């Protein structure tokens, strides 16, 4: 556990061409915020340690009470009391951690995204539900949780992205997670007549089974690496190939790798928008553990590279250029 009395001064050193100008931005807009966040973190860490010291031993009487109720009164009531009190106690202990994470998002992340121009951050906002329901790459769901929403305009192109968790009711009304990860919605300046879907390759049987129920045609591409990883379906063979150039396919794989090399990426072109999903268990905008200093700028480098990979997708499709076609 860290209890440093003096703070190091955070410094940002530009490492990549897309980070050009960020060092100045960091000095003017982020450095003081990070130092304040670090001061707050140390205070919250003290509070967290105190709550753990008091709170963990409290589990003993809670378990005892629940046990007595379970054995000598109503078993269901005993379970309810045990789980309920246990959950409340846990939330109380974790209170400073939640506050720290919220402080970082509101104080740091919200300011960080303004570096890219007209972009803004909201912890609670999420993508429109209809967008997910209309999509051919999003599984069916009964519960939709979203947040850490980033939206705005990049070089004339409207875009938004957020973290999404989707659940589906299964047997006996139990819910299970069908998707967790990041979703991107990019409004195109060009309108496409057809629909093109890029899905993860599901193997011979999975692809054959999936192909039966879709009205879209299979689009076979020349890139063997891309063909091995993905299955492409579309209503227009030419339009699909116009969109899925070698450059775009490379950018799509780079986008996936910057967010999570082991993640699953899929995308859909439809009407006037591009919709991308990356299934990953990583949280994009979460602060590190409360025990670790938030003055380390490594996460900022990672975030900048992730945003750059999103912008590269927009640029390779020339979504910011109107060509009259």
Partner 1 sequence: MEILILLLIVAAVFYVLYVGLIHKQNAAKESFSGIDVQLKKRHDLIPNVLTIAQKFMDHEKSLLTEITTLRTKAESPVNPADADGLKQKFAAEAQLDDKMKSLFVAVENYPTLKSDTVMVQAQQTYNEVEEHISAARRFYNSAVTELNNAVKVFPGSIVAGMLSIKEMPYFEATETDRKEVNAADILK
State the residues that interact with partner 1 by CB under 8 A: 220, 222, 237-243, 245, 318, 321, 323-325
C-beta of 245 vs 264, nearer to partner 1: 245
C-beta of 63 vs 238, nearer to partner 1: 238
Tell me how far, at minimum, the Cβ of 190 lies from partner 1, in Å.
9
Tell me how far, at minimum, the Cβ of 238 lies from partner 1, in Å.
5
CA separation for the pair 36, 107 (Å, rounded): 9
Tell me how far, at minimum, the Cβ of 215 lies from partner 1, in Å.
17
Tell me how far, at minimum, the Cβ of 222 lies from partner 1, in Å.
7
Tell me how far, at minimum, the Cβ of 239 lies from partner 1, in Å.
7
Size (the chain), residues: 325
C-beta of 97 vs 219, nearer to partner 1: 219
CA separation for the pair 148, 138 (Å, rounded): 19
C-beta of 98 vs 321, nearer to partner 1: 321
C-beta of 60 vs 212, nearer to partner 1: 212
Residues 6+ apart with CB under 8 A from 61: none
Task: Tell me the two tokens of residue 225.
Answer: 């690496």
The count of C-alpha atoms lying within 13 angstroms of the C-alpha of 190, restricted to the half-sphere facing its C-beta, is: 18
C-beta of 40 vs 236, nearer to partner 1: 236
Tell me how far, at minimum, the Cβ of 235 lies from partner 1, in Å.
13
Report the helix count and the strand count for the chain, using DSSP H and E: 10, 9
C-alpha distances out from residue 229 to 82, 113, 225, 245, 266, Å: 47, 32, 7, 15, 10
* 264-270: strand order across its sheet: 118-122, 143-154, 157-169, 175-187, 273-279, 264-270, 195-200, 230-234, 217-219
């Amino acid at each position: 556990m860290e209890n440093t009395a003096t703070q190091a001064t955070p410094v940002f050193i530009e490492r990549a061409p897309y980070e050009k100008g960020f060092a100045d931005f960091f000095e003017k807009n982020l450095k003081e915020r990070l130092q304040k966040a670090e001061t707050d973190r140390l205070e919250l860490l003290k509070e967290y340690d105190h709550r753990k010291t008091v709170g963990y031993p409290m589990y003993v009487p809670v378990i005892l009470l629940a046990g007595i109720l379970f054995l000598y009164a109503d078993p269901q009531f005993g379970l309810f009391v045990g789980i309920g009190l246990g959950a409340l106690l846990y939330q109380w202990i974790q209170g400073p951690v939640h506050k720290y994470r919220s402080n970082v998002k509101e104080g740091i992340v919200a300011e960080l995204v303004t570096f890219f121009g007209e972009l803004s951050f909201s912890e609670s906002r999420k993508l429109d539900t209809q967008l997910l329901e209309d999509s051919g790459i999003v599984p069916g769901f009964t519960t939709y949780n979203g947040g850490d929403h980033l939206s705005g305009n990049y070089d004339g192109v409207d875009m938004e992205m957020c973290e999404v968790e989707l659940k589906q009711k299964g047997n006996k009304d139990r819910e299970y997670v069908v998707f967790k990860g990041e979703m991107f919605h990019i409004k195109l300046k060009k309108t496409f007549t057809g629909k093109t879907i890029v899905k993860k390759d599901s193997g011979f049987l999975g692809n054959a089974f999936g192909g039966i129920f879709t009205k879209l045609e299979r689009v076979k591409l020349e890139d063997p690496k891309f063909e091995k990883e993905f299955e492409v379906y579309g209503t227009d063979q030419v339009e699909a190939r116009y969109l899925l150039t070698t450059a775009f396919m490379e950018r799509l794989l780079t986008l996936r790798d910057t967010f999570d090399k082991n993640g699953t990426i899929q995308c859909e072109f439809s009407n006037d928008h591009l919709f991308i999903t990356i299934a990953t268990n990583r949280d994009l905008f979460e602060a590190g553990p409360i025990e670790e200093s938030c003055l380390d700028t490594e996460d900022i480098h990672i975030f900048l590279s992730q945003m750059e990979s999103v912008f590269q997708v927009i640029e390779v499709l020339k979504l910011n250029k109107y060509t009259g076609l």
